[in-house]
């Protein structure tokens, strides 16, 4: 019999913050290759049985990963484009603004905790000296 094939383009996106370094494309290919029979079974018995009912195999081919451009990872505030890498770039003033802001917040938190502790643990003792007519001091 003849064989008909279809190409289905699937985009898989993910965010990984190393360590450890992970070869994400290879991980996806290995996962599909090792679970191909399950995937074919799900396609055959899923909602589109007319379309995938005769599926026999799955082949995975990788294309070059697409790197999102800055506009996809950034936001604009008051006409200034802000993206995450700006806070890690030592040549960008936003890194120092971020660090200074964190330090100010940390100092204010510590001062608040110190003041609350001090208020709760300070007893108010006052000593009064009263002079009597006989010249003795009472305390």
Predicted confidence band at 105 (pLDDT cuts at 50, 70, 90)? Answer: very high
Please compute the mean of the pLDDT values over residues 95-104 and round it to a whole number.
86
61 within 8 A of 51, measured Cβ to Cβ: no
Q: What is the pTM of this model?
A: 0.38
What secondary structure does DSSP assign to 9-62, as a single string? ---------PSSP--HHHHHHHHHHHTHHHHHHHHHHSTTHHHHTT--------
Mean pLDDT of the chain: 76
When pLDDT is averaged across residues 97-119 and rounded to a whole number, the result is 90
pLDDT greater at residue 93 or residue 44: 44
Give the number of other CB atoms < 10 A from CB of residue 87: 14
Residues 13, 35: Cα–Cα separation, whole Å: 19
**Is pLDDT above 90 for 71?**
no
Q: Which residue has the higher pLDDT, 70 or 21?
A: 21
pLDDT band at 111 (very low <50, low <70, confident <90, very high): very high
The answer on pLDDT for 118 being more than 70 is yes
* Residue with more model confidence, 20 or 2: 20
3-state secondary structure of 126: coil
* Residue 27 or 85, more confident: 27
User: What does the pLDDT read at residue 32?
Assistant: 85
């Amino acid at each position: 019999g003849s064989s008909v094939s279809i190409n289905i383009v699937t985009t898989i996106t993910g965010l990984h913050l190393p360590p450890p370094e992970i070869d994400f494309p290879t991980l996806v290919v290995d996962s599909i290759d090792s679970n191909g029979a399950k995937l074919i079974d799900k396609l055959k018995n899923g909602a589109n049985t007319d379309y995938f009912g005769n599926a026999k195999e799955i082949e995975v081919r990788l294309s070059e990963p697409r790197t999102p451009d800055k506009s996809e990872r950034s936001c604009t505030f008051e006409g200034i484009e802000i993206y995450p890498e700006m806070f890690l770039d030592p040549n960008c003033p936003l890194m120092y603004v971020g660090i200074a802001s964190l330090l100010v917040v940390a100092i204010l938190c510590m001062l608040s905790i110190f003041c609350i502790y001090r208020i709760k643990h300070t007893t108010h003792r006052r000593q009064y000296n009263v002079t009597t007519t006989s010249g003795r001091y009472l305390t």
